[in-house]
Amino acid sequence: AQSVTQPDIHITVSEGASLELRCNYSYGATPYLFWYVQSPGQGLQLLLKYFSGDTLVQGIKGFEAEFKRSQSSFNLRKPSVHWSDAAEYFCAVGAPGGFKTIFGAGTRLFVKA
């Protein structure tokens, strides 16, 4: 069965600094990987997803993620964080032919001025 681990419950970065949010997954084959973002009191919005091909995936709002099979990781990055990026970020994994997407516990991002 697939699973997702987000090791950091919360992270604080300064505005303009770079960001990396960690995600590790467990799945026997190549998974379908997602990053979603949730603003306070709102639903989730897809940032990016990886199915196959190029291991560096570009998403919306200037985010990117890199799939590393050898490390079972799919870390999210942004070169320069804006105050509006403060939110909760969820990594998720799905299996081909499966009906469910498994979500990590989330990482809350705080941005300081």
Partner 1 sequence: DGGITQSPKYLFRKEGQNVTLSCEQNLNHDAMYWYRQDPGQGLRLIYYSQIVNDFQKGDIAEGYSVSREKKESFPLTVTSAQKNPTAFYLCASSMSPVGGTDTQYFGPGTRLTVL
Which positions lie near partner 1, rule CB under 8 A? 9, 32, 34, 36, 41-46, 49, 51, 90, 94-101, 103-106
Helix-strand-coil percent breakdown of the chain, rounded to 5?
10, 50, 40
Neighbours of 50 (CB within 10 A): 21
Choose between 14 and 26: whose C-beta lies nearer to partner 1: 26
User: Which of helix, strand or coil describes residue 60?
Assistant: helix
Q: How far apart are the first and last CA of the chain?
A: 41
Least distance in angstroms from the C-beta of 93 to partner 1:
9
Cα separation, 28 vs 4, whole angstroms? 13
Choose between 12 and 30: whose C-beta lies nearer to partner 1: 30
Least distance in angstroms from the C-beta of 17 to partner 1:
25
Choose between 34 and 111: whose C-beta lies nearer to partner 1: 34
Report whether 37 contacts 89 (CB < 8 A).
yes
Least distance in angstroms from the C-beta of 50 to partner 1:
11
Least distance in angstroms from the C-beta of 95 to partner 1:
6
